[in-house]
Amino acid sequence: MAKVTYIENNGTEHVIDVKAGLTVMEGAVKNNVPGIDADCGGACACATCHVYVDAAWESKTGTKSAMEESMLDFAENVEPSSRLSCQIKVSDELDGLVVRMPESQH
């Protein structure tokens, strides 16, 4: 279990206990947190689960696959801290993780 803080673009915070093994995307979607659409359900096919990972957590959230890198390269409002949250697996190590959401996923 890890506590993950999801911050909507308007500043609203959602602190969620996410089971280890789920992705950061699933933690949001299964708890009805707004701002992460995840149209493809985690197939890395749509880039609608885009989040910004707080700098302190970048090393712990793993490296991007070529597919993720490539999808993000063409998404909107991309920053160096951008990730697709369906590609970050939650573990106890990520307890305290903070992710922020872009203005829109579409």
Partner 1 sequence: MSSSDAHVVVLGAGHAGGTLVALLRQYGFAGPITMVGDEPIAPYQRPPLSKAWLKGEADEDSLALKPLEFYAENQIDFRPNISAVSLKRADKVVELSDGSTLSYDFLVIATGMRANKLPLPGAELSGVLSLRSAADAEALKGHLKPGRHIAIIGGGYIGLEVAASARALGAEATVFEREARILSRSACEVLSTFFTDYHRARGVSFELGAHIDSLVGEGGKVTGVKMADGRTLPADVVLVGVGAKPNDEIAADAGLETARGVVVDLEARTSDPAIFAIGDCSHRPLPLYDRMFGPESVPSALEQAKQVAAAITGRPAPTPEVPWNWSDQYDLKLQIAGLPFDADRVLVRGDPASGKFAIFHLKGDQIQSVEAVNAPPEYMMGRQLIGNRKPVNLDRLADPTVSMKEVAA
- Token pair recorded at residue 21: 């093994």
Is 38 in a helix, a strand, or coil?
Answer: coil
What distance in Å separates the CA atoms of residue 91 and residue 12, rounded to the nearest whole number? 24
x/- letters, 72..101, toward partner 1 (CB under 8 A): -xxx--------------------------
**Smallest gap from residue 45 Cβ to partner 1 (A):** 4
Binding-site ranges for partner 1 (CB under 8 A): 26, 29-32, 34, 37, 39-41, 43-47, 67, 70-71, 73-75, 106
